[in-house]
Amino acid sequence: MTKNQVEAIKQLEAALQLCKRAGLVLVGIDTDLHVTVADKSFKDECRSSSACEAVLDRLNDYHNGTHTLETHRVYLDSGGA
């Protein structure tokens, strides 16, 4: 890896740590990465269905604490093309 790649990974890990401290959770679906508040309601819905369904429900309800991140197509899960 190049020096820039290693530095980018370190910055990403630091940003993820900030999200954790702020009480946020990231949920990936295909090429999208969503962030939402990791409150009791979200955790309960994850247990009853899945994290993907829970975050999609929040997005569809325009939940104030839920946002889709711009990933610039560097994020791909198993369903991403």
- Residue-wise pLDDT for 29-63, tens only, equals 988 999 999 999 999 999 999 999 999 999 999 99
Please check whether residue 28 is in contact with residue 35, taking contact to mean a CB–CB distance below 8 angstroms: no
Does 69 have pLDDT greater than 90? yes
What's the whole-model pTM score?
0.86
Asked whether the beta carbons of 71 and 28 are under 8 A apart, the reply is: no
Token reading at 16: 């993820």
Counting Cα atoms < 13 Å in the Cβ hemisphere of 77 gives: 11
Q: What is the pLDDT of residue 73?
A: 87
